[in-house]
Chain A
Amino acid sequence: MEGIRVGKRLIGTQAPVTVGWENIPRVEGGPVKRLFFSWFQPTVLFALILFWYYAPNSIAKASTAIGIGIGFRVFLLGLEFFFPRHESWQLTWKEVTTDLFYVGLGYTVLRLVDGFIGSDVMVGAIQDSFHWKSFDWFTGLPILLQAFIISFIFDFGQYWMHRGMHNWYPLWLPHSVHHYITQLNINKGAVGNPIELFLIGLGIGGFFDFVPRAFLLAGAIGLAVGSYQHINVRFNSPRWWRFLFHTTEHHSLHHSQDFEATRSNYTNTYIFIDRMFGTCIDGEAELLGMEGGRRMGLREQMTFPFTEGWRAIKGKFARQGQDEATAVPAE
């Protein structure tokens, strides 16, 4: 395959990818359908911002956020079912069940573990050692700005953690499992080795949660933008949305079977962070996964980082032993 030159890189030499917004198909159908899929994303984002900005204190709490999050995902699941982007990414019973197993782990045992060793524990400890007054400069900012800063800090940290995972083998091992997914569906973000799910949740965005409403707003922005990363629905996202936010198209390229394409679009919410550091590629891919699209089974997803890590260590020591055996002493 010839590939497409993007800056200094050749993208799509190993697997088909589409680069450039002008080459990406638009939603087809009647005017109502096109209107819906053009304005759905911005409408939900602004509606959620307004809701969290004005909701009375009795409603603006974590349980409401959890309820909205679940309801929104169920709705998106319905959209996937009725308006799939690619037939080859259609949800099956096995896919839904596998994805929900990982979602379930996140809501139960991983949350429990996070309560002891997650970044929030560290953040809480540091927060307690500061006096509130030290952060008056932050808590005096407009709530929306606080929310943006919280989500930006979280996404900035996420960007570097994710980029690190693609560049340093010990971090790649747990993350690689997530790259064995062969299609994008709404709950695929939860699929991965539990160690990676813990690592990716690390962040210091929670440090600035002094005003609960600002933190909940930050969560709502993350929900209204980040939820589309793994979704089998095509949207006519407005130009400004695609410039600022991480879209399904960006993320499908990140999951492509082409190695160079996977080394792009590392953010979760704000694709402009990728633009800042030169890792953004505007495009999409349909053929996803590793090893030519081999779907990894549940058991291997759990053990892969350890078995591969062990194999790598053994290989390294074997090579060292060989080098020593064949080395000729210099005289």
Chain B
Amino acid sequence: MSNAIALPSARHGSAMNLRFIDWIWHIRGSVDLPPGQTSEEAFARLEPLLRQPGTSQQRGGEALRFTKIDPASQDKLAVFENGLLQVEQDSAGPVLRYHLVSRALLLCFLAPLLFLAFAQLTIAVGQWQKPAAEAAAKAKTDKKKDAKKDDVRPMNPIDKALGAPAPEKDGKKPDRKGDKYSPTSAYVFASLFALLYVIGRILEARLVKARLRKSLLGAE
């Protein structure tokens, strides 16, 4: 009966065996159950964890499948869209095996690629705009050359008295938003999401194991 419910996104038997890469967004593991604990008892203990808004469950013998649609932020399993929980008899006793699927982990894994694409786009737009930017800069320089020296605006006496630094004499106005064609921020975010993925893949795997263990082995 354990195969009565399958994960829809596991794609068992598909032409390409996703098992080699699906660890990116699939989390598998097991928790040893106390001797004699039946699947009924185990799933009853997991009920508070699964009874959440947007979560539907399907039971089939020793297996339970859950699916989540728009889970709440504080749902302890919010990072997983669906999962299969199975109680099996091991040589050492009963064990709960879980196989959870997280689209959030997959998207986070792919996010660096998106931001690298943004970086390339920024570079490309910068190249495309280069002649226009150079022409604008030249026009500004010419305008400044024509302008008289008294174009440098005087400071208010209050600011002078308080000792605020005087504005630049050449009337230079720095770009207050930074270089808009710099790909640096896109590279920073690509790295950030790569780091977040590693943290998430390790953290969420540990958290779900700890939560399942706590629910299954916690005091009656």
Contacts and interface: CB of A to CB of B under 8 A. Distances in A.
A293 B72 contact: yes
Contacts of B174: 61-62, 212
A292 B168 CA distance: 55
Given A61-B174, A97-B200, A112-B180, A90 B74 contact: yes
Given A55-B165, A104-B189, A94 B180 contact: no
A272 B180 CA distance: 34
Contacts of A198: none
A312 interface: no
A252 to B, nearest CB: 15
B180 A115 contact: yes
Interface residues of B, number: 50
A219 B72 CA distance: 34
Contacts of A219: 176
A112 B203 contact: no
A83 B59 CA distance: 40
A101 interface: yes
A136 B167 contact: no
Given A93-B199, A108-B185, A296 B70 contact: yes
A298 B107 contact: yes
B164 A54 contact: yes
Interface string B173-189: 11111101100011011
Most chain B CB neighbours (cut-off 10 Å) among A95, A108, A297:
A108
A143 interface: yes
Nearest to A182: B73
Given A115-B180, A294-B54, A294-B70, A94 B78 contact: yes
A141 interface: yes
Interface in A106-161: 107-109, 111-112, 115, 120, 132, 136, 139-143
B192 A100 contact: yes
B71 A107 contact: no
Contacts of A88: 74
Contacts of A104: 111, 115, 185, 189, 192-193
A297 B121 CA distance: 26
Interface string B30-72: 0000000000000000000000011000000000000000111
Nearest to A86: B74
Contacts of A140: 153-154, 156
Contact of B164 (A100, A213, A293): A213
A55 B163 CA distance: 11
A215 B175 CA distance: 11
Nearest to B200: A93
A142 B159 contact: yes
Contacts of B204: 93
B153 A295 contact: no
B115 A92 contact: no
B73 A97 contact: no
Nearest to B168: A57
Contacts of A297: 70
Nearest to B157: A142
Interface string B66-103: 00001111100011000000000000000000000000
B163 A112 contact: no
A108 B74 contact: no
B156 to A, nearest CB: 5
Contact of A109 (B111, B121, B154, B158): B121
B104 interface: yes
B176 A132 contact: no
A46 B177 CA distance: 23
A63 B154 CA distance: 25
A112 B125 contact: yes
Most chain A CB neighbours (cut-off 10 Å) among B54, B73, B121, B125:
B73
Contacts of B175: 62
A100 B193 CA distance: 9
Interface in B102-145: 104, 107-108, 111, 115, 118-119, 121-122, 125
Interface of B: 53-54, 70-74, 78-79, 104, 107-108, 111, 115, 118-119, 121-122, 125, 151, 153-154, 156, 158-159, 162-165, 167-168, 173-178, 180-181, 185-186, 188-189, 192-193, 196, 199-200, 203-204
Given A53-B162, A57-B167, A94-B79, 19 more contacts: A57-B165, A93-B79, A93-B204, A94-B104, A96-B196, A97-B196, A100-B189, A100-B193, A104-B192, A107-B189, A111-B177, A111-B180, A112-B118, A140-B156, A142-B159, A143-B159, A216-B176, A294-B70, A295-B70
The 5 lowest CB-CB distance pairs between A and B, nearest first, are A104-B189, A107-B185, A108-B118, A139-B153, A142-B158
